Chain A
Amino acid sequence: MKSALKEIAVGFNSLITGMRITLGQFFKRSVTLQYPHESLKMSERFRGHIELVKDPATGKAICYACKLCERACPSDCIIVEGAKLDGAKKRSVTTYQLDFTKCSLCGSCVEACRDGAIRFSHDYNLASLSKEEFVMDLFKRLETEREEEERREGKPASAVPVAVKPEAAQPAAGQTKVEVK
């Protein structure tokens, strides 16, 4: 009898403790982020899908289609084609197709690359209604980006001069993709 009463008392006390703890949390600030309205900044090393890196000197892709990444990829999601353009010393990339539906974001390609020609983008808002959108031609993407940049630079001074960082240019590229669809 005595132990039963004690058990009831201890049990009741434990319930009160639990309720006190949740009530304490009730008045605290919420810890979540309202995603479509706000979003997190990705960390420096965030592994998004890969993208080609521009050579700052020429504004073109560093990649010369050595196909090391293609071979390193465990999921066969990269197809690289290159050609030797007229008057150029080195080969240069003409197609860099990434099938993102197969990619597991392991980063083997980036590690395999000896010249730092590919890197991870910080783009994570990847949603689409069709599978085909995820087969991206990274080379074409880079070229469109470059053309856009040139067009912007060619414009009169009314346009706000922005130092276009590759990261900043990324969402713009994403938007054009949506518009195309």
Chain B
Amino acid sequence: MTEKADFLTGDVAAGQPPRETFVLNLGPQHPATHGVLRVKMTMDGEYIVRAEPVCGYIHRMQEKMGENRTYAQFLPNTSRIDYLSAMTYTHAFVGAVERAAKIPVPPRAEYIRVITSELNRISSHLVWWGAFLLDLGGFTPLLYAFDDREKILDLLEAITGARLTYCYYRFGGLCNDVDDSFIKGTREFVAHMRPRLKMYRGLVTENIIFRKRLEGIGPISQEMCRKYGATGPVIRGSGVSYDVRRVEPYSAYPEFDFEIPTFPGGDSMARYLVRMEEMVQSLRIIEQALDKLPAGPVMADKVPRVLKLPAGDYCYAVEAARGRFAVRIVSDNKEIPYRVKLRTPSLSNLSLFEEASKGMLLPDALALMGSLDLVIPDIDR
């Protein structure tokens, strides 16, 4: 009799394996996975016994593609790995090639790269913010976020010609210069965004329902981050001040005064706060870069038309919106790289999901997944 009661309620003595489980197939089409991620969840009622991410539904062989085309031809692909932070990804590839070919980049180009990368970071975080709230069942913030993001996209469209897959950077600089209207527009955007962030705080961050859903939920320890190589807001939400812009300074970042927001909680709320604070810091960087923007060319003088990198092994890392994105190029002195390796942050961040979600309730696990800010093409590449 007692056995039957246990069977019905699913109560399991501590340490015992659950008696009856079922497999819940979350995805590849599911509203919470924001793409074609599939998570095979073994469930005990609404508790997760094991959540196994199944990747590869949008594997496009980006790395292999890099190995059979010239550097310039692969450049547009980098915008499509993580479509939400296309600028930073292009930055890494361009940076790797410049490092290998020893192409000097004019300071104006570096500054504009910083401005556009940070604008891109804000727009990426805004999408995450809206989508994360969508995961939690709040619909309206998404539309507010997209309203603000629209302003960034308009700015970037005016200078790059595209709204998502910018492909703005070139080996040695930028494809075209920014004009005064962009600078003016960006200043207006910075002024517009600050009160909006305050509004977001009132609408969401301080909301009791929201806080109850995130505080203490989905703790990720520093050890777990290190074990799986998690970077970006995930590791900074666990209290480790790791930011590529600081630890491996690149581009013009050393010239700006900004903080690396770090929160020690390790829960979903800490990761949320890291991103919100990062937007504030990005605005600061943009403002400083606009103030100090030097005049001059935006393209290096002597960039060979046919680019052949000297034989060797080159790596360049950037802080993308989701963490450390690194490009490693192995060259054998040909037009086409011998090997291209893309180190994408989302894959590492997803890897810890299986361990972190053990024993969690389904909605909490989805909140945790949302707080990891996964972009599925970035996982599968």
Contacts and interface: CB of A to CB of B under 8 A. Distances in A.
Interface stretch (A38-46, A58-66, A78-86, A147-155): A38-46
Contact of B162 (A12, A18, A22, A47): A47
Interface residues of B, number: 31
Contact of B157 (A10, A18, A46): A46
A105 interface: yes
A74 B158 contact: no
Contact of A17 (B69, B159, B202): B202
B145 to A, nearest CB: 12
A46 B161 contact: yes
Contacts of A18: 202-204, 207
A44 B74 contact: no
Interface string B225-252: 0000000000000000000000000000
A45 B166 CA distance: 11
A44 B158 contact: yes
A15 B209 CA distance: 8
A73 B69 CA distance: 10
A43 B76 contact: no
Contact of A111 (B80, B144, B160, B175): B175
A110 to B, nearest CB: 10
A103 to B, nearest CB: 10
A11 B208 CA distance: 5
A43 B158 contact: yes
B167 A74 contact: no
B77 interface: yes
Interface string A108-143: 100100000000100000000000000000000000
B199 A108 contact: no
Contacts of B209: 15
Contacts of A47: 160-162
Interface string A67-81: 000001110000000
Interface string A85-106: 0000000000000000000111
Contact of B167 (A21, A22, A73, A107): A107
Contact of B158 (A21, A45, A104): A45
Interface string B145-172: 0010010001001111110010100000
A14 B209 CA distance: 9
B197 to A, nearest CB: 13
Contact of B206 (A14, A44, A46): A14
Given A21-B202, A22-B203, A45 B160 contact: yes
A113 to B, nearest CB: 13
B202 A105 contact: no
A18 B80 CA distance: 36
Given A21-B203, A43-B157, A47-B161, A14 B167 contact: no
A158 interface: no
Contacts of B162: 46-47, 105
B60 to A, nearest CB: 12
B72 interface: yes
Contact of B207 (A15, A74, A104, A107): A15
Pairs A-B, 9 closest by C-beta atoms: A11-B208, A106-B76, A74-B73, A45-B161, A47-B161, A43-B158, A21-B203, A14-B208, A14-B206
Interface of A: 10-12, 14-15, 17-18, 21-22, 25, 31, 43-47, 72-74, 104-108, 111, 120
Interface of B: 69, 72-77, 80, 140, 144, 147, 150, 154, 157-162, 165, 167, 175-176, 199, 202-204, 206-209
Given A15-B209, A17-B202, 8 more contacts: A14-B207, A15-B208, A18-B202, A31-B147, A47-B161, A72-B72, A74-B73, A104-B80
18 contacts: A11-B208, A14-B206, A15-B209, A17-B206, A18-B204, A18-B207, A31-B147, A43-B158, A45-B157, A45-B161, A47-B161, A73-B73, A74-B69, A74-B77, A105-B165, A106-B75, A107-B161, A108-B72
